[in-house]
Amino acid sequence: MEGASNVRGAALALLAMGLYATHDVVIKTLGTQYPALQVLFFSSLLSFPLVMVIIMRDPTPGTLRPANPGWVAARTVVGVIAGMGSFFAFSQLPLAQVYAILFAAPLLVTILSIPILGERVGMHRWLAVVAGLAGVLIVLRPGAQPLGLGHAAALAAAMGSAMTAVILRKLGRSERPLVLLMWPMLGNFLATGASLAIEYRPMALPHLALAGVIACLGLIAGFLLILAYRAGEAAIVAPMQYSQILWATAYGWIFFDEVLDLPTVLGATVIIGSGIYIVWREGRGGNSANRPVIASRIRAETVTAPRTSLLQRIWPPRP
């Protein structure tokens, strides 16, 4: 029975990752014609009614005033950076290359969990982190290819996602999910709305509809991921995130004439292998008291794809 549940969880996670990848393809499609932050603004705007329906289910009484204002402010800033960075990176770089860089987030979670969560990291996981970061350098290959703002944005998105995950783990249940969702939404609207004053291009109605598609895909994928974690063990479900590289390869080839080069394949393999090893080590217990990577459910956070862990707290399982 447990095996069947794990298979179901893995299958749901794979489907969720396919939808997330489709979400990112639409971002890239619009990003070739409009400023990335403009795409993020309208996608966020169109996702707001959907998110509000979810937020109204929050059973925890209280206000929008945070109990931990410093940490909530930090979570808001890094969440906005993660969303803006990922949207911009997808508009500038090949899909597979963006994913390879974003896959460094679990490695960064491992590092950040030491000062923030007091996590003890053993030699095996340190070696995996070093190997994974070496994989990032293989993908970036500084000196062999020109590095641009897209690469910096992808790295910022990975760091922002990792920092967000660790902060949420630090806060635990001391903050209402509503607070942890709404403040980044407000920060995002302010930041991306301000960017429209710098660069704005009128959007055709079909393209506005695509921005709405981004919003719907992100939320549907998030709920599928909730079902996946409820069905299967986290150590089984978590590695399914790496299937996005397969979707990226196929989508990149079909829609954008992108072809994987050897350094990206090699670097992504090293990063994915390192991430899976860390998940496996955490799944075994031992010196990992918090299991921060497994608990993080890594996915570059945007307003159109909120943290699954927060959605799950608002949307409790049926009795």
Chain segment 189-247, per-residue pLDDT in tens: 889 989 898 989 999 999 999 999 998 898 888 888 888 888 877 777 878 888 888 89
Residue 34 has pLDDT above 90, yes or no: yes
Place of tokens 């206000």: 63
Angle subtended by helix axes 36-55 and 177-195, to nearest 10: 150
Residue 253 has pLDDT above 70, yes or no: yes
231 within some domain: yes
Within-domain flag for 319: no
Question: Token pair for residue 259?
Answer: 């072809």
Chain segment 146-185, per-residue pLDDT in tens: 788 999 999 999 999 889 888 888 887 788 877 888 888 8
Tell me the whole-structure pTM to 2 decimals. Answer: 0.87
- Residue 226 to residue 236: CA distance in whole angstroms: 14
* Secondary structure of residue 142 in the 3-state scheme: strand
* Mean pLDDT of the chain, nearest integer: 83
Number of domains in the chain: 1
Distance between CA atoms of 156 and 85, rounded to whole angstroms? 6
Asked, for residue 304, whether it belongs to a domain, the answer is: yes
- The backbone region for 120, taken as left when phi is positive above 0, alpha when psi lies in -120 to 50, beta otherwise, is beta
Alpha helix segments (H runs only) across the chain: 2-31, 36-55, 69-92, 95-102, 105-117, 123-140, 149-171, 177-195, 205-231, 234-237, 244-256, 262-283, 292-296, 308-314
Q: Is residue 175 part of a domain?
A: yes
**Residue 248 counted as domain residue:** yes
Q: Which domain holds residue 21?
A: 1-314
- Give a yes or no: residue 50 inside a domain: yes
Kind plus residue range of the DSSP H or E element containing 86: helix 69-92
Residue 84 within a domain: yes
Closest CA relative to residue 28, chosen from 106, 81, 101, 99: 99
User: Which strand (E) or helix (H) includes residue 179?
Assistant: helix 177-195
| The total number of residues written for the chain in this structure | 319
- In this predicted model, what pLDDT tens digit does every residue of 68-112 receive, in sequence order? 889 999 999 998 899 899 999 999 999 989 998 988 888 888 888
CA distances from 66 to 31, 78, 80, 307 (A): 34, 16, 17, 18
Cα–Cα distance between 231 and 46 in angstroms, integer?
30
